[in-house]
Structure formats: C-alpha cells, structure tokens
Copies of this chain bind each other. A is one copy, B any other.
Amino acid sequence: MNGRKIISFENIKVACRNCSLTTLCLPMGLEPDDVEKLDDIVKRNRPLHRGDHLFRDGDRFHSLYVVKTGSVKTYAPSEDGGEQVLGFHLPGELIGLDAIEHEMHNCSAKILETSAVCEIPFEHLEELSSTIPSLQHQMFRLLSREIGHDEGMLTLLGKKNAEERLAAFLVSLSDRFKRRGFSSTDFYLSMSRHEIGNYLGLAVETVSRLFTRFQEEGLLNVERKHIQLLDTDKLHNIVQGEDSDSKRQYP
C-alpha cells in the first residue's frame, strides 16, 4: 500500500492499542473496535533526528502529530529571525492543533532529539470522529486541554518572576516524566538554556544563574543537561510564589 518498503521501520508492528502512551494519547475511553479504526489511519514514520522539522510556519496543514518517543519543540518564528518557543512536547503529546482553523501551520515544530512521531491525517480523524461520538468528545477535550495549558502559560508570563518561572518549568517536566513512567527527579533536558529562556521569557544568562542558585540552595543538582531534583516541596512552594525566607508576612 505504501510505496516505501525499503526501510522496514514502517512494518514493525506498532499499533495504538499496544502503544504505551495509550492513556495519554487519543484513544482513551474508546472501544477496542474503535481503537482499531483509529489505528488504521495513523501513519508511523521512520525516526526523526535533532534539527528535523515536522512542519514549518506557513506549511499547509494536513496532519496532527503525536510524539511517541523523544521530544519536539514548537515555536513561532518572527520575520527578523527571532522566535518565541511555544512548547516542549513529550511522548503522548499532540502537536498541530493550532493549525486547524486556517488549515495552515502558524508555528514550526523542530525535533530536539532522535524521536519517533505518529502522524494522524486530520481529514480522516475528522471523519472518524463524526462516526464515533466518544472520539469526538476526546478531541474536544484535547483541544480544550491545550487552551487551558496556554492560559496557564499566560499567567506564568504575566505574573511570575524569573525564579517562579524556572521552578514551574522544572516541576512541569518532572510531573510529565512521572506520568510517562520515567523518574520525576532525575532526567535530562533535551533543550538548550537558550530555548528554556526563550520559552520562559527570560535571558539565557538569567536561566544559567538560576540553575546555579537553585543548586547552591540545595534544591537540585545540575550538570549540563542532567538534572536531579532534590527538594521538590520547596520547588513547589516557589512556584506558588512563596519564597521561603523573604516575603510572606501574612497569608
């Protein structure tokens, strides 16, 4: 059916129902029968490498993408060469939802480390979800979740200081790794300090200094990309805007 048979990766038996992301990804709450139908429309491409683009700003929209392994960043490029990092996407996370409206991508998606990504042709998905109410519901939920997530980021950028932003970033990663069965306290960052700073609305130097300070304060160990969280309680407190020493006269 698919012309490319030379590289056998596509033939490996990987189905949605076997996918370890099953509770994170689309099928949640679907009948086995329906999962099979979904499975049929998902394309599984060969692994992608650091720097590859899934799509670019301005590309015509055809498919949503789900990270299977690895990680992907999305960013909005601006004319002058600058960019705003919009998100870092871990296994099970859906990419491309913002392109549905205009049938055109208005951000770019770049692979951060060797990754496997499922492609879901949107027209097929739409057809399928009009015949499977629980899939339609799941789609609404996923889109809604993305909106909720973005609203959280708006609060982060609008109200939080540098320290709170980095703490929130680390806690978010930690939680997401945990849900995926990885260590929540010991992980590697696939993005650069520059990308973290860009995402959080901070300069690289500020991110670097904060890592140093968090380490000095015993909150974590950091060695280049390798992070070990040591005091997640205190990190959570920082996210809430409660600096242990200063501030906080009356609750």
Contacts and interface: CB of A to CB of B under 8 A. Distances in A.
A126 B130 contact: no
Given A80-B241, A139-B140, A154 B86 contact: yes
Interface stretch (A15-23, A47-55, A142-150): A142-150
A31 to B, nearest CB: 15
A33 interface: no
Contacts of A251: 80
A100 B144 contact: yes
Contacts of A159: 78, 82, 84, 201
A99 B141 CA distance: 9
Interface residues of A, number: 47
Q: Give the number of copies in the complex.
A: 2
Given A107-B151, A158-B157, A201-B158, A136 B126 contact: yes
A30 interface: no
A144 B84 contact: no
Given A148-B98, A157-B158, A201-B158, A137 B126 contact: yes
27 contacts: A84-B154, A84-B155, A86-B154, A97-B147, A98-B144, A98-B151, A100-B140, A100-B144, A101-B144, A101-B145, A101-B148, A106-B148, A126-B137, A126-B140, A127-B133, A130-B130, A147-B147, A147-B150, A150-B150, A150-B151, A150-B153, A153-B154, A154-B157, A157-B157, A157-B158, A158-B198, A159-B201
Interface of A: 76, 78-80, 82, 84, 86, 97-102, 106-107, 126-127, 129-130, 133, 136-137, 139-148, 150-151, 153-155, 157-159, 198-201, 240-241, 251
